[in-house]
Structure 1
């Protein structure tokens, strides 16, 4: 059985991994004033788009996920021909409309695929399953990597589905953003209350950085640390402890809103990499996608992994 995987462009994974595993991207379109770019996870295009005046107004960005019709057309024009079963893994429905659009499209896709496949000489059934990752950024990446491992191991679609849905419930993403004013302006535009105005003002004045946590679609601050480097080190060291305690999937995903060389110079990074190597945990490092950057600002760091343990220490 040919199993396909499709993700939205807010999933932070390296481009070479996505290409090697033949993972299809659902682009998110970003508009800032008159400037428009479809996020297809191109680092150079993203940084060019966020330069100059456009970048200064990034917090005003409007993001538009693939519509129901666009998802429907992508499947019927390509995916129902290339695969027999497709897993569509999306950013949490509490933060993006792509999940609900994909679910709505799935109904018409399953009604319309038969003549399309028959025209290519294939009369076998086609199935798809939309999986809510219940997470954001590098957190979305964790079940995607697991899906590729299960596919390579020859697991059946029902077992893959059950594993992914369980993993999503236990996947945790953590983020440290360097610019609280930007983050506050952006989440205010989105109607979010993760960082209050007072917290942003005090945090900026005192150089206090919150560590934000996402699990099961809910986001909240779990720590406040003075200085971005210190907050990043605390997050890296915390992740290393979770790795030593045992993860549900041998995967840690990192993403950064800038050149990865900058992330690799942050304190605690080397210790985390050494811990992962010792525990045989694979690390995926990715430049943050455009839709993520306009939501949290340049220079943000995110870490994703799956663990039965909760809490930040």
Structure 2
């Protein structure tokens, strides 16, 4: 039984890895004024962050259209027995809804299951990669769906921001708005809980913030997959990955760059850790 795996670009899965694992990625869009780009298709991460930091217009993200999903589903249905489509939290984007609409437009296609991961970026990526690996190993549809749904409460995402400026401008701050007015001169630490951004802690400076991320990681048992993501600081990400390796032994730490979907809201200097516990 061949299972097709679909996700969206907010998962921040590098193109080479997605290709290797047979993952079909539907890009989100980012708009700077009148200019609209497809994430990592018509704008690179480097170009995006340059425009974000130095440009006069703050961008907004746009979910893929149902037709974007229809095109991917149609192609994949021709070579698959079923499709599993795993996406960014529905509390952060309408991407999940676009996927569901596309599914309803393809009643005669192979079975399509759309999963709201309740996550974004590398945490979503961990769940998608687990499902893709299971599909490559020949697991059946029910097994992969069970693994995907069981992985959601076993996955965590938390990170350090350099500033709340971009989160406020982006508007999708959820319960993190409770931090506003109390963070002058300190670094906010956020987490994703129940599909939305929530305040976790605050640190006096960046170094103490990174220490707090590591302390939080130490409290999580049975980690079997882990990744570090950064917006503009690859050296910091590499250093953090090395520190993580002394805590979570025998588990490779992937380093990825945060794309436009999360980058719009967190800005430069952000560092995030995503991990998945044993099912």
Task: Tell me if TM exceeds 0.5.
Answer: yes
Structure 1 residue 70, shift from structure 2 partner:
2.2
CA contact (8 A) 2:117 2:152 kept: yes
Tell me the equivalent position of 2:237.
263
Structure of larger gyration radius: 1
Looking at structure 1, the residues matched to 152 and 89 of structure 2 have their Cα atoms a distance apart, in angstroms, of 10
Structure 1 residue 215, shift from structure 2 partner:
2.6
Q: How does 1:94-243 map to 2 (within 5 A)?
A: 94-109=91-106, 111-113=107-109, 126-187=110-171, 190=172, 192-196=174-178, 199-203=179-183, 205-206=184-185, 208-242=186-220
Tell me the equivalent position of 2:265.
295
Deviations 1:156-212 (A, max 9, x none): 11011011111113321112110222322222xx4745134xx44542x32x11211
Deviations 1:202-230 (A, max 9, x none): 42x32x11211113313211111111232
Looking at structure 2, the residues matched to 172 and 252 of structure 1 have their Cα atoms a distance apart, in angstroms, of 10
Match of 2:225 among 251, 259, 262: 251
Looking at structure 2, the residues matched to 144 and 237 of structure 1 have their Cα atoms a distance apart, in angstroms, of 26
Aligned residues: CA RMSD? 2.3
Moved over 3 A (4+): 52-58, 190-193, 199-202
Provide the aligned length of Structure 1 versus Structure 2.
278
CA contact (8 A) 1:13 1:284 kept: no
Match of 2:244 among 263, 268, 272: 272
Give the TM-score normalised by structure 1. Answer: 0.81
Structure 2: gaps (5+ residues): none
Structure 1 residue 284, shift from structure 2 partner:
2.1
Where 1:51 maps in the other structure, the secondary structure is: helix
Q: How does 1:7-46 map to 2 (within 5 A)?
A: 7-40=7-40, 45-46=44-45
Q: Is the helix fraction higher in 1 or 2?
A: 1
Looking at structure 1, the residues matched to 192 and 256 of structure 2 have their Cα atoms a distance apart, in angstroms, of 18
Cα pair distance change 1:74/1:152, threshold 3 Å:
closer
Structure 1 residue 297, shift from structure 2 partner:
0.6
